């Protein structure tokens, strides 16, 4: 099952929720070539981040010891698929491709998620919560970098920000522990490498 989810995430059509695409009601505005390129790159980074989020949630689910914890996290994992879908559509609308390194982001995150899971549920949930918090900060940055009038991309990132913040709360309420500061720093560093790389590839 884990392999199936991985293959769908990378190459197929992942299972999404009933929620509509937030960009659906935003109007497409005229973007200059430079703006379109920048927005496309930012959406590619966000897509790569969502691929990594899938890996993380899968790794977490593989090692979760308590079945009710797995269930609680399932909805969050499904919402990550919405994000994946919205970001990919938007990146393509902006005329760009998704990151060619997605398989690497996915397997890397799944491995990290599973490792965190081996340390116990409270640590793997803490890891999910911290990841989500860092993603919220990252999305805030992207919202300031996106072309002002790219309403479609904005609508997607706004909804994602709201979801990620909710996912962090869910993981904490399920029993996630606060991670040690050096681990948080290391996570920030890893995501920087990923976002810088996905900007180009
Ligand atoms: Fe997400
Ligand atoms: Fe999330």
Per-position DSSP letters for 31-50, written without gaps between them: --HHHHHHHHHHHHHHHHHH
The per-residue pLDDT for 169 is 93
Residue 150 Cα, ligand 2 centroid: separation in angstroms?
Answer: 23
Residue 83 Cα, ligand 1 centroid: separation in angstroms?
Answer: 5
Residue pair 24/153 in contact by the 8 Å Cβ criterion? no
What residues contact 105, with CB distance under 8 A and at least 6 apart?
48, 51, 52, 55, 99, 194, 198
The C-alpha atoms of residue 68 and residue 178 are separated, in whole angstroms, by 20
Ligand nearest to the CA of 52: 1
Residue 58 Cα, ligand 1 centroid: separation in angstroms?
Answer: 13
The C-alpha atoms of residue 172 and residue 131 are separated, in whole angstroms, by 12
The per-residue pLDDT for 118 is 85
Question: At which residue do the structure tokens 């990550």 appear?
Answer: 80
What is the token pair recorded at 124? 């793997």
The predicted-structure confidence for 84-128, as pLDDT tens digits, reads as follows 999 999 999 999 999 888 998 899 888 888 888 888 888 888 988
Confidence of residue 43 (pLDDT cuts 50, 70, 90): very high
Residue 10 Cα, ligand 1 centroid: separation in angstroms?
Answer: 15
| Per-chain residues with Cβ under 5 A from ion ligand 2 | 132, 164, 167
The per-residue pLDDT for 1 is 66
Residue 155 Cα, ligand 2 centroid: separation in angstroms?
Answer: 16
Ligand nearest to the CA of 48: 1
């Amino acid at each position: 099952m884990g392999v199936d989810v991985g293959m769908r995430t990378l190459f197929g059509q992942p299972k999404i929720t009933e929620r509509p695409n937030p960009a659906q009601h935003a109007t497409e505005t005229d973007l200059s070539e430079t703006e379109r390129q920048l927005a496309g790159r930012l959406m590619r980074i966000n897509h790569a981040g969502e691929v990594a989020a899938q890996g993380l949630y899968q790794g977490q689910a593989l090692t979760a010891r308590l079945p009710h914890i797995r269930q609680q996290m399932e909805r969050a994992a499904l919402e990550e698929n919405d994000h994946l879908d919205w970001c990919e559509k938007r990146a393509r609308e902006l005329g760009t491709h998704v990151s060619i390194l997605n398989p690497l982001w996915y397997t890397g995150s799944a491995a990290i998620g599973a490792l965190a899971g081996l340390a116990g549920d409270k640590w793997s949930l803490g890891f999910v919560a911290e990841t989500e918090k860092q993603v919220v900060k990252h999305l805030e940055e992207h919202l300031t970098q996106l072309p002002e009038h790219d309403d479609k991309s904005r609508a997607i990132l706004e909804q994602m920000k709201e979801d990620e913040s909710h996912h962090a709360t869910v993981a904490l309420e399920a029993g996630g522990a606060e991670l040690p500061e050096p681990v948080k720093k290391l996570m920030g560093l890893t995501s920087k490498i990923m976002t810088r790389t996905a900007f180009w590839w």
